[in-house]
Structure 1
Amino acid sequence: MIEVSHLVKRHGSRAVVHDVTFTAHPGRVTGLLGPNGAGKSSTLRILLGLDRATSGTALIGGRPYRSLDRPLLEVGAMLDGPGANRGRTARAHLTWVAQSNAIAARRVDEVLELTGLREAARTRIGRFSLGMGQRLGIAAALLGDPDVLVLDEPTNGLDPDGIRWTRRLLRSLADAGKTVLVSSHLMGEMEGIADDVVVIARAGVLASGTAEAVTGDHATLEEAFFALTDGQAAYRASGCDGTAP
């Protein structure tokens, strides 16, 4: 389980994350939704130990990420694409990532197959399309077969087939009991896949709860999101909590 509690991150006098609180549960896909610059990536960077919070906590299984001995076996993550050396092949990149956490070499072949990159295994990453790079980042996140997945904008650059594949993968991971936290600024892409959503804007949480509860009387989650971010403070959906920074 992921537990983020009263998280605050300031750059000088500016709050990039303001009192963000939510929980992502096993067996469910949780969507962290908001426009670019809302604080989604900053929240995930703190969760993954890449940045320090000004105050508050972000825990995975009750522990901070930095305390995990072999983190890839517990948490798989993708931030800012694959983060790979463009001169390496896909196989070489995944191999060294696996070795860093003592993951068996056979797992590299398994994730290449799972993400549709088997035939591109010996292709240098500099020749990858944006969508292939996203698949490589997801492959690296899956190497340790972790119980927690944290993915930042995983469908960025994917074509419609790739988006559908990603949705099916996330659903299958959650159905297998894993905790799946996905950030996105595209509401339509999360419609029908997210069990729970956290709507974040202006650095703070505007609403959180089940996707159905946050959608409320609106026709779509996207419409509910625009109602929230247009400043309609009176909006409340049953089962949601909303706080404005």
Structure 2
Amino acid sequence: MIVIDRVCKSKSRTPILREVSFEARPGRVTGFLGPNGAGKTSTLRVLLGLDRAASGTALVNGRPYAGWPRPLTTVGAALDGSGAHRSRSAHAHLRWVATSNGLPRTRVDEVLDLVGLTGDAGKRAGRFSLGMSRRLGLAAALLGDPPILVLDEPVNGLDPAGIRWMRDFLRASAAEGRTVLLSSHLMGELAEIADDVVVIDKGSVVARGTLAEVTGEHSTLEDAFFALTGEMERPWS
């Protein structure tokens, strides 16, 4: 379970997170939605210990992410692409990540097969398309078979078949009892897979609840989003 409680953060004295609070629960997919610059990635970075909050707490199963001795066995996270050095092959990158967390090397081949990269295991990460990089990042997140997944824009760059695969995978992960937290700007896709939705705007959570509760009287999640944030333009279909 993920609990974000009144997290505040500023940059150059400008607030970028204002008492952000929400939960992501086991067995459910929680979608984290907001305009560019709203604070989605900043919140995830605080959760994963990559940035420090000025106040508030971000806990994973009751403790900070940094408090877990083998974090990959608790939280699988994928932010900002694959995280692999351009000159390393997919297999070498995953082998290094597995070794750093005391995981068996046999797990590398298992996750490559799971995300559909077995045939590209020897290819250097710098030659990967955006969609392949997303799959490699997910493979690294899955190495420890964690009960919690935190993914930033997981379907960005995937082709239609890849999007369907990702949708099915995330739903299956939640059905197995995992906590799944993902950010996305693709509201149509989010509406297809999310059980719960958190909407953030200008660093503040403006809505949270089940998909039905957040959508409310609006016909679509997209309509609800623009009503909540006051955005005039609709850059996404």
Normalised to the residue count of structure 2, the TM-score between the two structures is 0.96
CA deviations over 1:54-95 (Å, ceiling 9, x no partner): 000000000001111000000000010111101011000000
* Residue number in structure 1 paired with 2:45: 45
Residue 181 of structure 1: SS of its match in structure 2?
strand
Residue 191 of structure 1: SS of its match in structure 2?
helix
* Residue number in structure 1 paired with 2:56: 56
* Residue number in structure 2 paired with 1:170: 170
Q: Does 1:76 align with 2:76?
A: yes
Residue 4 of structure 2: SS of its match in structure 1?
strand
* Residue number in structure 2 paired with 1:34: 34
Distance 1:23 1:218 in 2: 24
CA deviations over 1:81-132 (Å, ceiling 9, x no partner): 1111010110000000000011111111110010000000011111110100
- Greater than 4 Å deviation, 4+ residue runs: none
* Residue number in structure 1 paired with 2:15: 15
Residue 170 of structure 1: SS of its match in structure 2?
helix
The CA deviation at 1:184 is: 1.0
Deviates more, 1:151-160 or 1:23-32: 151-160
The CA deviation at 1:192 is: 1.8
* Residue number in structure 2 paired with 1:153: 153
* Residue number in structure 1 paired with 2:109: 109
Normalised to the residue count of structure 1, the TM-score between the two structures is 0.93
The CA deviation at 1:13 is: 2.2
Matches within 5 A, 1:119-198: 119-198=119-198
Distance 2:114 2:26 in 1: 22
CA deviations over 1:165-211 (Å, ceiling 9, x no partner): 11111001000000000011221120120000000011110100000
Distance 1:188 1:80 in 2: 22
Q: Does 1:118 align with 2:118?
A: yes
* Residue number in structure 1 paired with 2:66: 66
Distance 1:208 1:94 in 2: 35
The CA deviation at 1:217 is: 1.1
Residue 198 of structure 2: SS of its match in structure 1?
strand
Residue 23 of structure 1: SS of its match in structure 2?
strand
Distance 1:190 1:163 in 2: 11
* Residue number in structure 2 paired with 1:210: 210
Residue 83 of structure 2: SS of its match in structure 1?
coil
RMSD: 0.8
Deviates more, 1:158-167 or 1:202-211: 158-167
Which amino acid letter does the alignment assign opposite residue 125 of structure 2? I
Distance 2:204 2:188 in 1: 21
Percent identity between matched residues is 63
Distance 1:117 1:135 in 2: 8
Which amino acid letter does the alignment assign opposite residue 19 of structure 2? D
Which amino acid letter does the alignment assign opposite residue 151 of structure 1? L
CA deviations over 1:25-49 (Å, ceiling 9, x no partner): 0000000101111100000000000
Which amino acid letter does the alignment assign opposite residue 212 of structure 2? E
